[in-house]
Amino acid sequence: MVYHPFRSLGRYVMAACAVSLVAVSLSAQKPATASVSGSNPSRADIFLGSTYFSAHGTLQPAGIPYTSISQGAIGSYAYYFNKHSLNQHLGFEGVYTNNVVNHASPSDGAVGISGGPIYRLSPVNNITFFVHGLFGAEQLTGPNSKYPPATAEYEPAKWGFGLTAGGGMDIAMPFCNHLSLRLFEVDYRYSHVNFGPYAGLPTSAPVALGGTTDLNAIELSTGIVVHFGHM
């Protein structure tokens, strides 16, 4: 996997925020007839997209760092059951993420299955913001053996505990009421995985060292949202 520093991550987030501010500004200039009074928000949303997983953590006590994963997929289902107002809704979301290119290879990877509350705010017809807090299971593979002090080390996939918190912005497609573009979703993911007793260093063969990982990551996602039903 190729490591991407926080500089690239910061540029992406700044660009996404700039686009969102411009979109909100333009929408605010529309007449009142185009406001939320004419909207008909969905009851359920399905999101399918791609992700970039920026990992920051090490396998302890060996001290071998995890690397970022530039390829991944994400899918989620959100159901809204509480209507605070015409444009504010509370619901429950289930999320599956897969940032593993080849699960059988000795390389870094992360899979997550989580669920929790989601809060949706639609200030105008075509723009929706959301925040969510999720908890569930995280499966980690690696870290990649090319980093010292190990020369031929990898950890097979193991499941552990995970937390996710973040949010994003959707823009409705002008040609279809049932589709939106998720311009960005930014999530913080924490994973704790125990790979078993520590075997020690050095290694000269592809072996699992064992140990524990407390991995912090920023996950950036984008894709398509499909809407079902009405509130």
Q: Cβ distance 141 to 107 under 8 Å?
A: yes
pLDDT at 173 over 50: yes
- Specify the range with the lowest mean pLDDT, choosing from 19-28, 35-44, 167-176: 19-28
Closest among 183, 224, 228 to 48, alpha carbons compared: 224
List 221's β-bridge partners, or say none.
Answer: 51, 185
Task: Provide Rg for the chain, Cα atoms.
Answer: 20
Residues with Cβ within 8 Å of 204's Cβ and at least 6 positions away in sequence, in order, are 151, 152
What average pLDDT is seen over the chain?
A: 79
pLDDT, average across residues 60-80: 91
pLDDT tens for each residue of 179-229 = 999 999 999 999 999 998 887 765 555 567 788 999 999 999 999 999 999
List 89's β-bridge partners, or say none.
Answer: 83, 120
pLDDT given for residue 102 in this prediction: 55
| Threshold 0.85, pTM exceeds | no
Closest among 101, 50, 79, 105 to 231, alpha carbons compared: 79
pLDDT given for residue 216 in this prediction: 97
Task: Return d(Cα 85, Cα 148) in angstroms, integer.
Answer: 55
Q: How many other C-beta atoms lie within 10 A of the C-beta of residue 128?
A: 25
CB-based burial of residue 13 (10 Å sphere; 0-12 exposed, 13-18 middle, 19+ buried)?
middle
pLDDT band for 8, please (50, 70, 90 cuts).
Answer: very low
Cα dihedral sign for 192, 193, 197, 202?
negative
Q: How many other C-beta atoms lie within 10 A of the C-beta of residue 202?
A: 10
- CA 51 distance to own-chain centroid: 7
Domains in the chain, CATH or no CATH each:
6-22+40-228 (2.40.160.20)
- Percent of the chain at pLDDT > 70 equals 71
Using DSSP bridges, classify how beta strands 158-172 and 179-194 pair: parallel, antiparallel or unpaired.
antiparallel
List 115's β-bridge partners, or say none.
Answer: 94, 135
pLDDT at 16 over 70: no
Task: Return d(Cα 36, Cα 52) in angstroms, integer.
Answer: 33
Task: Return d(Cα 118, Cα 110) in angstroms, integer.
Answer: 23
Closest among 89, 85, 171 to 127, alpha carbons compared: 171
Closest among 216, 104, 225 to 166, alpha carbons compared: 216
